[in-house]
A and B are shown apart, each in its own frame.
Chain A
Amino acid sequence: MRKVVYFFSLFFLFQSSLLAYSSNPKDFINELVNDAINKLSNKNLNKEQKKIFIEEIAEENVDINALGLYTLGEIRKSSTKDDISNYQISFKKYFLKSLTSRLTDYSSSKFEVVGEDKKSANYTIINSTIIPEDGLEIKIDWRVYTKNPEKPLIRDLIVEGLSLARTQKEEFSSILSSNNNDIKVLINKLEEFSNN
């Protein structure tokens, strides 16, 4: 009986995270991040449970496909459909593993949205600050894709002025350029990372 209750409480816990957040970019980020902070700092959840939560929340709210294409750079224009498709699969695995590795040890933080800048119909930058329990205030800007106004998606995080997507793109670009722009080499490296 205990196990059944535990299962259902977990089920509802994760279900609640899949409820749609607000479609207003500012509220979307505020609700999503505060929800994530609450779950990740919950000491009753173990690493595996946190991992599942992070993967679900990322798949639902981050534009992983677009991020994959962006980080691939110009080579996406000359690659075959099959290669792009294989790359997207490997990139998603890589992205989720890297994200969970960064966030499962997360401790409590104070988060606040401090502003927004609507760049175009497709993009809004949300400015926020996060204060970890053991550190100084960190400025984080969120690039939110708003082409579908009903379903905003995160495309990039700019931490203290450093774009995570750009860093990733330049890392991949270096791997490609030192391997004759062979996308298969990059796919293998992503697979290696995910399987380790």
Chain B
Amino acid sequence: MQLLKKIKLTLTTFAIILIFTVNANSVEECFERTSRAIFKFNMAVDDIVLEPLAKGYNKLPSPIKEGTSNFTSNIGTLLSIPNNVFQGNFKQLGHSVGSFAINSTVGIFGFLNPAEKIGLKPTKEDVGQTLGSYGIGPGCYFVLPILGPATARDAVGLLADTFVDPFAHVTIREKEIFNSSGNALDYYTVKGTTAVDFRADNDKNFQSLEKNSIDLYSSLKSIYLQDRENKINNSIEDKDEWGNLDN
């Protein structure tokens, strides 16, 4: 009964957001003023929490950093597996399954990445990308508290990820696999560590962007949208908007 309720709620949310998606132009703002306020809040959280953590993380010995990064990345591969199936991308499915299997065993629970050495390079796929690959546009843009930039499509994807991701099933929903399961804390610890790892990797880039942007909000919006576009297309699209400059 409760599952039915959850499904109904998800479908209703999905329907509302899809209406949003169809009606909104690709990069229009949903509610810019609110998003800018949330962005300021997120930047404050970054200054107080994420940046110091990232700087501390960067001081760790390189094998620990690399091992942590490999571990979170290996768990992240689990979300790519169902999404590769939904996208019918079976070559990438092979890379994801193979990489997860090898790294979780030979790679000691994912702390090492021997899969890469034999040519397995799984790309990260999520539900937002799957919806994009079905031709669903991004919808309008907004900023989520803590989670950062999103579009209507990607926000739906973010929610759906927790239903599709096998790791979320064994942690948040405590489903047992091989007689063991985790809890919500495990899930959020891994997600939090992934965020710190990403922030630490890009520390210099963030500093440079912050220093050289006239409107940091818009710069990050542009970077986010370009990145999502590339990930959905699994390639770098050359739009050649320069053509009309020479006419």
Contact = CB atoms under 8 A, between A and B. Distances in A.
A158 B236 contact: yes
B106 to A, nearest CB: 22
* Most chain B CB inside 10 Å of its own CB: which residue of A98, A122, A158, A170: A170
B166 to A, nearest CB: 27
Interface residues of B, number: 24
Contact of A70 (B211, B217, B245): B245
A170 B212 contact: no
B218 A66 contact: no
Contacts of B211: 101
- Which bracket fits the contact residues of A? 20 to 34
Interface in B187-214: 201, 208, 211-214
B218 A170 contact: yes
B221 interface: yes
Interface string A86-112: 000000000000100110000000000
Between B219, B227, B239, B242, the greatest number of chain A beta carbons within 10 A of the residue's beta carbon is seen for: B242
Contacts of B239: 166
Given A171-B222, A174-B217, A189-B214, A161 B242 contact: no
Contacts of A101: 208, 211-212
A141 B201 CA distance: 21
Contacts of A69: 245
Contact of A155 (B217, B218, B242): B242
Interface string A115-143: 00001001101000000000110000101
B245 A167 contact: no
A162 interface: yes
Interface of A: 66, 69-70, 98, 101-102, 119, 122-123, 125, 135-136, 141, 143, 147, 155-156, 158, 161-163, 166-167, 170-175, 189-190, 193
